[in-house]
């Protein structure tokens, strides 16, 4: 059995480090999603998405609690924040905690990635904190100009009929 050359070993090591750096960047991006939402940093929030982004979420507000609402593109996302169609309301800013990345699994394939995991939204209603949402997420990301961005987010309420499919999205 022949030993790999130094050049081959170095090349393998560089690839492994690159993969770890990409995984770290994806985790950071998903954390920033929540921080930007909670701190009312709308422009930074929109900056983590591609121009053609898609949000595909079960709102829990409709007659069917698993009914899906979809926004396509940043303009639709801006309208979503402006009219508060997700039930966030005007008092949501500065009094919420968006927590993504719980039990996060990530699959990276070159300049694309899929991540899935759980998310929770907590909201302060003086003096109490209440759970607003517990969800399962599938994030599709793309690397543009060296930066990871969200291309599509699928969010399902716990118990949604397709929740197992969402949770298996990172499996090869």
Residue 6 burial class via C-beta count within 10 angstroms: exposed 0-12, middle 13-18, buried 19 and up: exposed
Residue 20 pLDDT level (bands cut at 50, 70, 90): very high
Domains and CATH numbers, the chain: 6-167 (3.10.450.50)
What pLDDT digit, counting tens, does each position of 144-168 carry? 999 999 999 999 999 999 999 998 9
Residue 56 burial class via C-beta count within 10 angstroms: exposed 0-12, middle 13-18, buried 19 and up: middle
Kindly report whether the global pTM for this prediction surpasses the value 0.85.
Answer: yes
């Amino acid at each position: 059995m022949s030993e790999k050359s130094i050049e081959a070993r170095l090349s393998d090591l560089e690839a492994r480090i690159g993969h770890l750096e990409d995984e770290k960047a994806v985790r950071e991006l998903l954390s920033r999603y929540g921080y930007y939402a909670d701190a009312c940093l709308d422009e930074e929030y929109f900056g983590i998405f591609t121009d053609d982004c898609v949000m595909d979420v079960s709102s829990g507000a409709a007659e069917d609690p698993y009914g899906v609402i979809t926004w396509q593109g940043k303009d639709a996302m801006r309208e979503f924040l402006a009219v508060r169609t997700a039930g966030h309301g005007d008092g949501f800013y500065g009094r919420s905690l968006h927590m993504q990345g719980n039990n996060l699994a990530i699959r990276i394939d070159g300049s694309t990635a899929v991540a899935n995991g759980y998310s929770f939204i907590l909201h302060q209603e003086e003096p109490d904190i209440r759970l607003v949402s517990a969800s399962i997420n599938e994030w599709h990301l793309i690397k543009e100009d060296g930066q990871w961005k969200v291309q599509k987010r699928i969010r399902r309420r716990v118990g949604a009929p397709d929740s197992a499919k969402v949770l298996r999205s990172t499996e090869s």
